[in-house]
């Protein structure tokens, strides 16, 4: 699909690695344990952690993203294993356990329903070692739904000449996430995807149901307090 072909080329410019995010991961995941980056995209954080000595692997559903991640790993001179795989088949992709996992980039809400989310959480828990840490990041959909917000801030990279416009539209129990990628004012690509706008209120019992404990919510990777009406993001840290 042309949209995702183009998105994979510009992904690292649209969503560049944040030192704040990287530091949150470093602060909460044991460097001496194996780590899995779920829905790793073009591998910015997989590679970023590996540069600090982490033994980290990445998985993503999109083969183009994995291709870009592998290319970047070679460019950066790091040895990172990337695999194409589905979060709902995590047990089929890896035969090993991990001391830490993270699933960021608002990836979890691409699943279709709460049953799929709980299945994914169960698979993640099963692949974690005892006391292993899981970190999840999604948009704070409680805020989106309460205030009927129609968009997120447009991402611009003037140096590269791109804009990434993000719009929301409610449809039954889903949100239509409409994105427009503008390239040098010459080309505009548009895509719609359905997201499941799960909130912190729904996620906590699902995490508890599959057996996670010590569940913490943050309003950002700066470790700020989660505020239902104010926080743009929802960051979850929990333990097996």
Same domain, 61 and 125: yes
Structural domain boundaries, residue 172: 143-195
Q: Rounded CA gap, 56 and 35, in Å? A: 4
Write out pLDDT tens, residues 224-237. Answer: 999 999 999 999 99
Q: What are phi and psi of 133, to 5 degrees?
A: -105, 135
What is the domain count for the chain? 2
Q: Which of 84, 138, 152, 87 is nearest to 109 (CA)?
A: 138
Same domain, 55 and 164: no
> Residue range 61-86: average pLDDT?
94
Same domain, 14 and 84: yes
Same domain, 204 and 108: yes
Same domain, 100 and 181: no
> Residue range 122-129: average pLDDT?
98
- What is the overall mean pLDDT for the chain? 94
């Amino acid at each position: 699909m042309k949209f995702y072909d183009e998105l994979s080329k510009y992904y690292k410019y649209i969503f560049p690695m944040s030192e704040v995010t990287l530091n949150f991961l470093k602060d909460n995941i044991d460097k001496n344990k194996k780590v899995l980056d779920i829905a790793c995209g073009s591998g910015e954080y997989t590679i970023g952690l590996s540069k600090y000595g982490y033994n980290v692997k990445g998985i993503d559903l999109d083969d183009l993203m994995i291709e870009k991640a592998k290319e970047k790993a070679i460019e950066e001179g790091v040895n990172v294993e990337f695999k194409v795989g589905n979060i709902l088949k995590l047990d089929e992709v890896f035969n090993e356990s991990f001391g830490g996992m993270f699933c960021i980039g608002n990836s979890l809400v691409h699943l279709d329903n709460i049953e799929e989310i709980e299945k994914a959480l169960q698979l993640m828990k099963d692949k974690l070692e005892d006391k292993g840490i899981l970190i999840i990041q999604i948009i704070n959909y409680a805020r989106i739904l309460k205030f009927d917000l129609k968009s997120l801030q447009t991402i611009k990279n003037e140096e590269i000449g791109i804009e990434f416009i993000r719009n929301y539209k409610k449809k039954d129990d889903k949100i239509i996430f409409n994105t427009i990628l503008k390239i040098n004012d010459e080309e505009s690509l548009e895509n719609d995807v359905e997201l499941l706008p799960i909130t912190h209120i729904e996620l906590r019992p699902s995490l508890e149901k599959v057996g996670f404990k010590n569940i913490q919510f943050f309003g950002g990777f700066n470790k700020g307090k989660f505020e239902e009406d104010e926080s743009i993001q929802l960051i979850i840290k929990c333990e097996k």
